[in-house]
Amino acid sequence: MWPGHGWGYNWGMMLVGGLFMLLFWGGVIALAVFAIRAFTRSDRTPDQGGSIPPRAQTPLEVLQQRYARGELTREEYLEIRRDLET
């Protein structure tokens, strides 16, 4: 076969093939980066973009919040606080 004839492999096809190869390997690398970041995300601190799960509140903290919102009177608050501290 003569160059440029026959099966249609010419410069245009080579450029398209090279482009698809770059896209393929770029996708493989991007997937690898996302997978690594997903598996290591729990080790990150908040200043690095990670998140810390919320801490469970103690009963005394819940009591103080309820008193601050006005759900309890002073007497109720003091009585419950004495019960919790014993």
What is the pLDDT at residue 74? Answer: 95
What string of pLDDT tens digits covers the 86 residues of the chain? 455 555 556 777 788 888 999 999 999 999 999 999 888 765 555 555 556 667 889 999 999 999 999 999 999 999 999 999 88
Q: Position of tokens 């103690």?
A: 58
What is the pLDDT at residue 12? Answer: 77
What is the pLDDT at residue 25? Answer: 96
85: helix, coil or strand? Answer: helix
What is the pLDDT at residue 44? Answer: 54
Q: How far apart are CA 59 and CA 64, in angstroms?
A: 9
DSSP 12-81: HHHHHHHHHHHHHHHHHHHHHHHHHHHHHGGG--GGGT--PPPPPPPHHHHHHHHHHHTSS-HHHHHHHH
Domain ranges in the chain? 1-48, 55-86
The token duo for 81 is: 């606080």
On whether the pTM is more than 0.85, the answer is no
